[in-house]
Amino acid sequence: MLRWLERDALWLAERSPLYEQHRCGNLLDLLFSADIRMGVLLSRIAGQAEQVFGRAIEPRRVEASAHKQVAGNYVRTHTDVPHGLTETHRVLITLEASATPVTGGELVLQKSELPTPRDIVLPHRHDRAVFMELSDRSYHSVRPVLSGVRYSLVLSYWATPTSACYLGQRPSPACVPTRLLHVLEGLGAHDVPHLRRHAKGPDQGSRLRRLSDHLVGTYRILRDWGCDTDVCAAGLFHGAYGPLGAGTALLSLENRNTLREAIGTRAEELVYLYSALDRSSDRLLPGSVVGARLLGAEKPLHVEAGVAATVFLLAWASLREQAPDVTLSPGQVEELLARLELFDALIPDRAARDLRAAFTR
């Protein structure tokens, strides 16, 4: 591949406020080269992307581009939000000619639009692949090349199902039925800030998001995991009575009937159990029953294992929606893995794979 890029590629200079580089104008010749067997390579990389992100990738949908950067070329900080027909995941393969080693040209994975000490700087290295999940927070840049020739092959993939509701994407109200959005708005979720309770470091306690964004994002994740409409609706209102007895409640427990009429009996019951069940006290009992206490109560409540698993699923979806801005301690990761194993047969396989990929790297 490197030999082809050096010898046969047609390079076209590109300059914009965002970048200065060269684009390959005849990449199809490489993609259809019988010697390199790009089809096999692209399929194998799609399989690796599925393992990395815990998401099903469309095997027959991929786009590719190639770039060359020489001294003075760069890419400024930006993020690529999936929308419409754009990709959800990207794989960046970097190459360099052995005769002209590259200095500069580091790929920077950033926490925000402005540089921070938490940014990840990856020095240019030959034959490295970087897997990226695109979102409104996937900020990245390429520092100016100082010397040498930096080649990159950019592969674009799409998660399945192809919809406007992808993990990592800015929560879109289009994912949610209009009637539920009206209920959410009526409860004032747009005016309440969301506190990321698990955030670590300088972002801990940040109140930069609206609660409604977090709730819509949680709904989207449950939907992408393949959960039914009641579970998704419960995810949309999972903090309505206050998370685990704390935080801002949108609705008093005295008005449970209001939410029950809006989203249905089963969905409302899950919302109530999410807020009221002491999930640290649960014990698996004979007969596929889980015993757990309600917060503030002394006697345990017997809950069907499937219901208990769904309550944990709501909590995990809420946590997943906040990734990668939250960090779990080793003990929390161990507890998560134990719960996943305990409820393995009662939750969607897609959810388990996604959670393991997100929190056990």
Domain CATH for 226 = 1.10.3210
Q: Look up the domain containing 103 and give its range.
A: 2-159
Residue 271 resides in a domain: yes
Same domain (yes/no): 61, 147: yes
Same domain (yes/no): 125, 181: no
Secondary structure letter of residue 170 according to DSSP: P
Q: Report whether the peptide linkage leading into residue 286 is cis, meaning its omega lies within 30 degrees of zero.
A: no
What pLDDT shows up at residue 149? 93
- Spatial CA neighbour of 5 closest among 88, 106, 160, 127: 127
Give the Cβ contact number of residue 270 at 10 Å.
Answer: 25
What pLDDT shows up at residue 52? 85
- Residue 139 in contact with residue 68, Cβ under 8 Å? no
Same domain (yes/no): 191, 339: yes
Contacts of 193 (CB under 8 A, 6+ apart): 207, 208, 209, 210, 211
CA separation (Å) from 259 to 1, 233, 236, 308?
59, 11, 12, 20
Residue 327 resides in a domain: yes
d(Cα 225, Cα 206) in Å, to the nearest integer?
A: 28
Residue 168 resides in a domain: no
Residue 167 resides in a domain: no
Residue 82 resides in a domain: yes
Residue 239 resides in a domain: yes
Residues of the chain with pLDDT under 70: 83-86, 161-175, 195-209, 243-248, 296-298, 324, 361
Residue 165 resides in a domain: no
What pLDDT shows up at residue 199? 46
d(Cα 331, Cα 102) in Å, to the nearest integer?
A: 42
Q: What are the backbone dihedrals phi and psi of residue 243, each rounded to the nearest 5 degrees, phi first?
A: -70, 120
What pLDDT shows up at residue 286? 72
What pLDDT shows up at residue 169? 47
| Tally of domains within the chain | 2
